[in-house]
Amino acid sequence: MYNPETASRIVQDIKAFPTTAIAFNQYVSYTPAAEGSDAPLKRSQNLERYIRAMASIKGRDLWLFEAPSRRGAVRTGIPQTSVDLLKTRAKQLGIDEGFEAIRFYKAEKAESSDTSRRVAGFFDRMDTKPLIWNAVMIHTRTPDGENRTPQLTELRDHQLILRAICDLCEPSRLFACGRTAQKTVGLLGVKHECVAHPVARRSPSFKASMSRIYSDPDLS
């Protein structure tokens, strides 16, 4: 039986990762020039609500992606969810209280990340929404703040968190979206299917895979 304290423990485990020059933990750190000092708390609250909702919907598919992007979960705390998708994602998961809105200054626009936008497009056409998680839950970044691919050591560091999510949500199927996600589930040794990441150049392959998996030509 699901223990509500599990969601809080997972969030605390993620918050334990330090912010460094090449890794930004958005659940404990914030960017003063771009957002308010309450942003980390709101992101942590959002993530805990998200995990609780995931746990209450057992048996759905789980899509595993790489890591948060600076225009997605780095801002909201929720995988593959940019600021403009917060209300939609809460509605999809049946979260009545919604998610906490993050206050941004004018210097930082709140446009969606490309991947979040593509994933949202798929969700809009699916009757049963899959669950979403990231192989690494903090922002792996370059020294100038851009997104970077997580290192193998970072994937290993987040393995236990992914295992806890799988145990909690009991997904019917696990889809590793992209090579980095594939490495992660390979390290865990869990049954999964590999699909292309919906990044621009791989988007047609991702669409074709999802259309085949869900037997829905409208997804292609």
pLDDT in tens, 40-51: 999 999 999 999
Rounded distance between C-alpha atoms, residue 138 and residue 22, angstroms: 10
Would 73 be classed as within a structural domain? yes
Q: What is the pLDDT of residues 160-216, one digit of tens each?
A: 999 999 999 999 999 999 999 999 998 888 889 988 887 656 677 877 887 788 776
Residue whose entry in the numeric block shows the structure tokens 């049946």: 94
Q: Does the pLDDT of residue 79 top 90, yes or no?
A: yes
CA distance 32 to 51: 27
To which residue do tokens 């851009």 refer? 146
Asked if the structure places residue 219 within a domain, the reply is no
Domain assignment present for residue 220? The answer is no
Q: Look at the alpha carbons of 197, 57, 137, 80 in this order and tell me if their dihedral is positive or negative.
A: positive
Beta bridge partners of 64: 133, 176
Range of the domain at 75: 5-214
* pTM (global) more than 0.85: yes
Domain count, the chain: 1
39-56 and 159-169 helices, crossing angle to 10°? 40
**What CATH number is given to the structural domain containing 125?**
3.40.470.10
Structural domain includes residue 46: yes
- Rounded CA-CA distance 61/47 in Å is 19
Q: Is residue 170 part of a domain?
A: yes
Residues 6+ apart with CB under 8 A from 201: none
Instruction: Give tens-digit pLDDT for 106-148.
Output: 545 555 566 766 777 777 777 788 899 999 999 999 998 889 9
pLDDT at 89: 87
Give dist(CA 169, CA 56) in Å, integer: 8
Q: How far is CA 174 from CA 71, 88, 121, 151, in A?
A: 25, 23, 20, 22
Closest CA to 87 of 96, 78, 98, 76: 98
| 127 within domain boundaries | yes
Residue 45 within any structural domain of the chain = yes
Token pair recorded at residue 40? 């980390």
CA-to-CA separations, 61 to 16, 29, 44, 176, in angstroms, rounded = 28, 31, 24, 11
